[in-house]
Amino acid sequence: MTSVPELVPLISQEQIQKQVCKVADQINIDYCGHQLVLIGLLKGAFIFLADLARQITIPHQIDFMRAASYGRGTATSGKVSISQTPTIDLKHKDVLLVEDIVDTGITLACVKQYLQSLAPASLRICALIDKIERREVEMPVDYVCFNDAAGFLVGYGLDCNENYRSLPAIYILDQ
Ligand code: IMP
Ligand code: MG
């Protein structure tokens, strides 16, 4: 018999909103007077980006990219494919890449290399969750909401086989 996965609450809606506001405040300070472009990494970052962008009070543009290193389920394939690239011209712009989770760092290494090739004025990374202890390639993250989250997480944009993305809080999927 297959067991039903259990959702263990980890980060509440209130905790998420508090951290999102804190990170946005810092971005508002750091990018004041700059031509900021937020690039959301689909699909996982779509809710985080929507909340973050609405707390960013300086003028900014928004675009998206899509890359995946995960196949089905919870294990990484180690292979990254970029299937959607930004349409805004990023040359000489200050680009902030918005990601849901930085895990091994393999996805971002590939995405960063691609974005660097577009000659932005600067490129920084903002992540909802940084699983720093799982890193396999060096990948510094400039803005982080949470960095002490372990286990396989779902909710607030994060999925397992495309499920759970719309949950308003973050849960550990106990399989
Ligand atoms: P990395 O290439 O190993 O850093 O993988 C990063 C990507 O894996 C993220 O963009 C997520 O989409 C996905 N990922 C990593 N950990 C989790 C998790 O706990 N829940 C859902 N997706 C995850
Ligand atoms: Mg992702």
pLDDT band per the 50, 70, 90 thresholds, residue 16:
very high
Statement: residue 5 has pLDDT above 90: no
20-36 tens-digit pLDDT? 999 999 999 999 999 99
pLDDT band per the 50, 70, 90 thresholds, residue 9:
very high
Q: Give the Cα separation of 160 and 152 in Å (integer).
A: 9
Residues whose beta carbon lies within 6 Å of some atom of ligand 1? 44, 69-70, 76, 99-107, 152-153, 158
Statement: residue 137 has pLDDT above 80: yes
pLDDT at 2: 67
Provide the annotated active-site residues. 103
Q: Which of 37, 168, 150, 146 is nearest to 98 (CA)?
A: 37
Rg (CA), the chain: 16
Q: Whose alpha carbon is nearest atom 20 of ligand 1?
A: 153
CA of 91: how far to CAs of 6, 115, 173, in Å? 45, 10, 40
Find out whether 120 and 92 touch, Cβ atoms under 8 Å.
Answer: yes
Measured in Å, residue 1 CA sits from the centre of ligand 2 at 31
Statement: residue 85 has pLDDT above 70: yes
Statement: residue 102 has pLDDT above 80: yes
| String of DSSP letters for 9-58 | EEE-HHHHHHHHHHHHHHHHHHTTTS-EEEEEEETTTHHHHHHHHTT--S
Residue keyed to tokens 């091994």: 104
DSSP 64: E
Q: Give the Cα separation of 6 and 18 in Å (integer).
A: 26
pLDDT at 155: 98
> Quick one: average pLDDT of 49-77?
85
Neighbouring residues of the ion ligand 2, judged by CB less than 5 Å: 44, 100
| β 60-70/36-42 pair status | parallel
**What's the whole-model pTM score?**
0.94
Measured in Å, residue 42 CA sits from the centre of ligand 2 at 6
pLDDT band per the 50, 70, 90 thresholds, residue 175:
confident
pLDDT at 149: 87
pLDDT band per the 50, 70, 90 thresholds, residue 74:
low
